[in-house]
Each structure stands twice: as C-alpha cells, then as structure tokens.
Structure 1
C-alpha cells in the first residue's frame, strides 16, 4: 500500500532528500507531496550570484525533467505549510488544503537575518536570498552607484562581488574584527582582506550599521556606522547571516534548540516518530548547520531510514569548507574550534600576506586535529583532511602551501 510523505520546503536540502528517496524507493512505496513556498522549483542557492552575472533561472534549477515528470512526486509551488495536526497526521496549507501524511519531513530552511537598525525597511534595502531579491537589486543597481553590504561572511562577500560586477561600488560592513569570522582566524582573513581591497571592495570591520537614512524620495541615501562613519549610498544589501525557519515548532509542540531550529537527534528525528527535520531548520542534537554538505548528509540519512535502510548518524564535528572567494582559495578541515579540553598546539605557515596556513595538533600525541588555509592558488583539501588523526608528514609546509 502506498504511503504519503509530505516534505515542507523545496530548497536545496528538501530537493536532495526527495530525489534521494526516489532513488532508494525501488519498491515505490512512497507518494511524495512537496510544499514549495517559492513559486518555482528548487535551485542552487549557493550559485545565486551567478544569476546577477547573467545565468538564467533555468541554469540554476535543480529539478530535472525526470524529477518533475515522476508520477510519485507531487510538487505544489507557491504553497506553504500553515499548520499540522499531529494527532490526525494531517498538514494544512495556507490555501486551506488538508493532506494526510504517514511521514512528515520539515525542510523549511532559513530566513535572512536583518539587524534591527532604523531605516532597514526603506526602499532600496534588500535581502540576498531569492531570485526575487536579486531581480529587485538588478532594477536599482546602476554603474557608479554606491552600495553597502551588511555582513562580511561568505554571503556578504558574494553579494559585494556581484554588486561590483554590476558597476556598483560596494562597502562591506562586518561587526567582527575581520571577514568570515566563523571560518577564518585573523591571519587567514588578512589574505582575503588584501584581495578584496585590490578588487575595490571597501572594508569596515569591527563596526556595524547604526542607521539607514532616507532621501527626499524616501529611498536610501546614506548610512551611519557604529563608529560614526557616514557613507553616501544608493542601496543597502543585508547579508548578515541566517536564522532557522522554525516558527512551526510551537504550534506543533516540538522542541527547539537553544539557538533555534527544530530539535532532532543524530538521525534527524523529532520527538514525534513520524516527523523529521533536515537542513538549516534542524538543530541536530541542539546545533544548527548552515552549510550545504551537512544538510545533504541529513537528507541522505532520512531517505535511507524511510526506505528501510540504516540511516547514518549525524556527528558533524567537522564542518569542512572549500571555497573560492575573490580569487582566494579558502579551506578549513577537521576541527578548527576547540571548546574545552587541552589547548591544541598551533603551527602557522605564512608567505607574506598572500598565503597562510594554520594546523592544530593534539598536545599529547602530536596528531592533526584540523586546519585553516587561505592562498591565491586553487587546490583540494582532500589530502589534508586525510591527515586528521595522524602525525603530520615532514613535508607539511609544502603540502599546505605548494
């Protein structure tokens, strides 16, 4: 007998889950109903800046013809989940449709964080999250205009670079002392700072936006920073991070993590045996993960569980990243944050301000815990990740900075 699976959300993680389930469901036990809040199928949000650079929506779309034509998949666009009756196992959409489910997977993702600064609701203030956001930015951006990007993390750097390619001269405002504070230490960030400055990005670190001011036409005309700096600008883009979309937790009577997100165990299960949460909205054992790779691992685990296989427990102590930003190869591997326990030994290699690497070693055994790299060349961290748990080789410096 066919069972009904409801997936709330059709972002990158929700799509990965549904597609993986299709592959594993060889006995065709599941009918998959996907509630997509946006009016189009899932797309590669990590490549969204390419949309401003000229790529089409179709270029970024993840749902191929086989997926859209699969009779087992019912994709409902522009349809959001409004409430859930966990006793009757029924979801209700905002349009009033009732759908009975045998399993419910919450993949509601996240929303942009917009700091509560005066003037943030003015015309020409934008988020940087969807096709519609970027369409609005493109309508306003013009060569020679001045812009402020609020946030110096990965998304903020992408937004600033995309604006520069539209002819806008961007400022980047980051409250931390340096760019990408969640991934990089000051030494690695210095390599990124140098390259950003060479590309014409103007950096304001260690301060925030205090006020966005309107001009006579009630659009953005200036920004005041926390350190008193005044900037004449034409648009503001908020790319200051994300927050989990967990607003359904309370009406579902499901627990949240300490910092938000649906609280789930290592197998992404909530307290309700019929309900799972994956991706940015899931607090796995209390912790949310904003990167794509952890979300894909969650999606694969739940797809395996729902098709009678053993799901992989999620133990993400290694949020490894490999990124190419502004012509700089940035990578982390292994554990780069070490709360509690003995302080690791830090070994740093640097070549001026163009290449930088730091390795963390266990003080008792000398084995590698993890590392951070920033350099002008491309490369892969795969051989570096294989060092974790082992003593470093004699040619470690050449391996890190070839």
Structure 2
C-alpha cells in the first residue's frame, strides 16, 4: 500500500479534451489519487468525444451524445473545473501558472494535455476567410452551417479526417472535391486495391476525388473570401469554403515558453514526465522516442501509465511503450480496418481475397507464419481478431488457409494444432 497523498497536494491539468478528461476519470478510480485536482480548458464547454465529431457532422447523432460529463459532475467529484480560460504562462520555479483571465494557480504537479491544431500548408491564400480546420466542436458546427447552405467545398487531405469531413459535409448538402497529394487515398493505411475500392464508393456518392493533386494556392475574391483553389498543374476548382485536414501540429507553445525540452512536441519519458520532474505531458502535445500521436489508442495507454505514476510510487509505476495501432474509418456505410505495413516486401507471405460484386477485399501480410499487417474493406468482422493475433505474435501457419474465411474456421484449426502440440510456447497462444 502506498501512503495517502498529502492533504495539500494539488494536481493541475491543462486541457479538458479527451486525454485530459480520461486522466481525470482514471484518477478518480484510485484511492491514492492527488487530494486536489483542477482542470483548465480553453473551450467554453465541458469535455466531449471528439471521435464522434465526424458522425455528428454527418447528421447521424445529436449534439448531446458527444458530451462526456456535464459541468456539475466535476463539482460532485470535488474537482475544480475552469472553462473558457487559456493558460498563458508557467512559472516553473514558483510552480505557478497564470491564465488569460488573470487567474493564478499554484501546483505541486502539472499535466499538459493541450492537444493539437490543424497543420496549415504554407500556400498563398491560407489566411482568407472561408478556410477552416476540423479539430473541435466549434469547427464542426461551422462546417455544418456552411454545408447546409450548399455550394462548393474543397477538402485538403484524403486521409481519415479529410474523408470524414468530406462525407459529413456532403450529407448536409455541400458539393465536395477532395484533394489528396498522394497517388491514393489513405496511403498510410491502405494498399492500392483497397484505396481504389474506397475511391470508387466515394465517387458513387458524389465526391470528386483528385489524387496526385498538389495545392498551389487558395484564391480569394475582392472581399477577402475564398473563391477557389489552384493546383500545381494549373487546374482551378471553384469553392466558397476550403477545409484543411492534412495533418496536425502539436500545441507545444506553452511548454516551449516554459523552457521544457521540445522537438516537434513536448518531449516525455516512459512515465510521461517532461524535462521538469513536476510536469507531465499527455496525448497529441507530447512526443515519446520521436513519435507523436493522433489516434486515441496509444493515448489511452498513456493515460493509464500517467494515472498510476501520479498516484503511486514513481519507481514502481508502469511505463509507457510503443505498440501498433489499428485504423478504422468513421464513414457510414463503409467498413474499413487496417494495421501494419501497407506494402509487401520480399519476405512477406501475401494472402488476398477480393469479391468485386460484394465489395469485399482482404489482404494479409505474414512473415514466418506471424501476421504483420492487414487491410480489410467491406467485411471487417475479422479485423479485431487478426489485430489481437498480430499483437500476440501468434504463429498462424497452422490456420493459414482459413485466415481469409473467418475467425471460427481459423480458431478451429489453431485449436487442433495446439492439441497436437501441447508444448507450444505460450506467446503463440491464440
């Protein structure tokens, strides 16, 4: 048992997004949590589920469904919640921070969960009125209003977020063009076949997809509003709105101004501790072993590690380590699941199945009987099982011929193989 926290111990969390809120929830489950917790968020609303912004934009759920906790909940839990204020400075020597409202707070431990913002390309016209990102609730509400007025919208970026924004705005009435710099959509997650299937389906829905498209400039009218975009090949597309969804920039300014170690983001160790032992960073604003974050799966694992570290003896607490993540697209009527490398190399055993009539495609990459990557389009039911087998390092050679058919067939073959090989190493267990 660890000793109870000192009655004056004060933890301040800067950022009331999903990462900061998840940390609060994790700490509240622990009897050895810090005695006093304050959460500061620069948005005026309590924490909400950003993952659901895409289906909300598409009109598939009500705004209330996004809320994680109402403001009253924080008070009931004894947590001070400060909304609509931005922390402007951190005095590390005094362990004190100041907000733009003039509020001063002392802390014993501090967590930076300041998130990220859209990465804006350095092209002429990027500051015109009508250029928007898609990161928070205010962005989503703005894009919904624009889409409902109709007209032409150009979305910059053919990755997860760009396609979700494009389809959501299309469903609300806008005419959409998507610009993808790569030769295929979602080039980091999909192989050429799956990307082609995805592009064809989006095209049938009315999205105009431009791959291999290099944005040269955003053009405006004489009122300073967006009028269209110009591509590097000279092509021009009319638009009254441009949505930039081409990557994110970690919000590191607060940490940098406090003279914490920063590179692309705020550098942390495997306890999510910055170069100041009293300050931690979490989520999209942090960087661990050169890696930055945009998916929730690794961030949830960071939360568990940091919650234990804040509540327990640091020498005994868990440590964060990198693990693979899987990708899913949140577009209604399109099922897609992928993980691992997108391209096969000479050492890969490639298994593929394609049923054009049903729109199903599956491709697996194995090396020495172990699964390294998968792309599933259409029927993705087997995705989580395959991902768990890959994470476990399972030897799937015994069920190779069933891997494209379904989990029941594959499990049956694995079980038969295991019964014939009782001494098989535990790490290969399905």
Q: Same fold (TM over 0.5)?
A: yes
Distance (Å, rounded) in 2 between the aligned partners of 1:391 and 1:324:
31
What is aligned with 2:289? Answer: 285
Distance (Å, rounded) in 1 between the aligned partners of 2:384 and 2:133:
34
Q: Which has the higher helix share?
A: 2
In 2 relative to 1, CA 27–299 (structure 1 residues): closer, same or farther, beyond 3 Å? closer
- Is the partner of 2:29 in helix, strand or coil? helix
Q: Which has the higher strand share?
A: 1
- Is the partner of 1:223 in helix, strand or coil? strand
Distance (Å, rounded) in 2 between the aligned partners of 1:138 and 1:271:
41
In 2 relative to 1, CA 218–27 (structure 1 residues): closer, same or farther, beyond 3 Å? closer
What is aligned with 2:350? Answer: 347
What is aligned with 1:329? Answer: 335
- Is the partner of 2:374 in helix, strand or coil? strand
What is aligned with 1:166? Answer: 172
Distance (Å, rounded) in 2 between the aligned partners of 1:289 and 1:185:
22
Q: Work out whether residues 33 and 311 of structure 2, in 8 Å CA contact, stay in contact via their aligned partners in 1.
A: no
Alignment of 1:196 with 2:202, yes or no, is yes
Alignment of 1:246 with 2:249, yes or no, is no
What is aligned with 1:35? Answer: 40
- Is the partner of 2:329 in helix, strand or coil? strand
Shift of residue 142 of structure 1? 4.2
What is aligned with 1:15? Answer: 21
Matches within 5 A, 1:19-98: 19-24=25-30, 26-27=31-32, 29-54=34-59, 55-64=61-70, 67-98=73-104
Q: Work out whether residues 358 and 371 of structure 1, in 8 Å CA contact, stay in contact via their aligned partners in 2.
A: yes
**Structure 1: runs of 5+ lacking an equivalent:** none
What is aligned with 2:238? Answer: 232
Alignment of 1:399 with 2:403, yes or no, is no
Deviates further, 52-61 or 172-181: 52-61
What is aligned with 2:385? Answer: 383
What is aligned with 1:261? Answer: 265
Shift of residue 23 of structure 1? 1.5
What is aligned with 2:370? Answer: 367
- Is the partner of 1:116 in helix, strand or coil? coil
In 2 relative to 1, CA 401–254 (structure 1 residues): closer, same or farther, beyond 3 Å? farther
In 2 relative to 1, CA 201–347 (structure 1 residues): closer, same or farther, beyond 3 Å? same
Shift of residue 141 of structure 1? 3.0
Q: Work out whether residues 353 and 362 of structure 2, in 8 Å CA contact, stay in contact via their aligned partners in 1.
A: yes
Distance (Å, rounded) in 2 between the aligned partners of 1:323 and 1:109:
21
Q: Work out whether residues 191 and 355 of structure 1, in 8 Å CA contact, stay in contact via their aligned partners in 2.
A: no
- The Cα offsets for residues 343-391 of structure 1, whole Å up to 9 and x where unpaired, read as 64141413155333332222xx332223222x22352522112322223
Q: Work out whether residues 348 and 356 of structure 1, in 8 Å CA contact, stay in contact via their aligned partners in 2.
A: no
Shift of residue 327 of structure 1? 2.3
Distance (Å, rounded) in 1 between the aligned partners of 2:17 and 2:287:
17
Q: Work out whether residues 385 and 407 of structure 2, in 8 Å CA contact, stay in contact via their aligned partners in 1.
A: no
Shift of residue 72 of structure 1? 2.5
Shift of residue 280 of structure 1? 0.6
What is aligned with 2:412? Answer: none
Distance (Å, rounded) in 2 between the aligned partners of 1:276 and 1:204:
42
Distance (Å, rounded) in 2 between the aligned partners of 1:104 and 1:182:
34
In 2 relative to 1, CA 29–114 (structure 1 residues): closer, same or farther, beyond 3 Å? closer
Q: Work out whether residues 335 and 379 of structure 2, in 8 Å CA contact, stay in contact via their aligned partners in 1.
A: yes
Distance (Å, rounded) in 1 between the aligned partners of 2:57 and 2:194:
28
In 2 relative to 1, CA 312–356 (structure 1 residues): closer, same or farther, beyond 3 Å? farther
- Is the partner of 1:132 in helix, strand or coil? helix
Deviates further, 178-187 or 159-168: 178-187
What is aligned with 1:296? Answer: 300
Matches within 5 A, 1:295-314: 295-308=299-312, 310-314=316-320
Distance (Å, rounded) in 2 between the aligned partners of 1:344 and 1:95:
59
The count of corresponding residues between Structure 1 and Structure 2 is 393
Shift of residue 8 of structure 1? 0.8
Residue from 220, 227, 232 that aligns with 1:221: 227
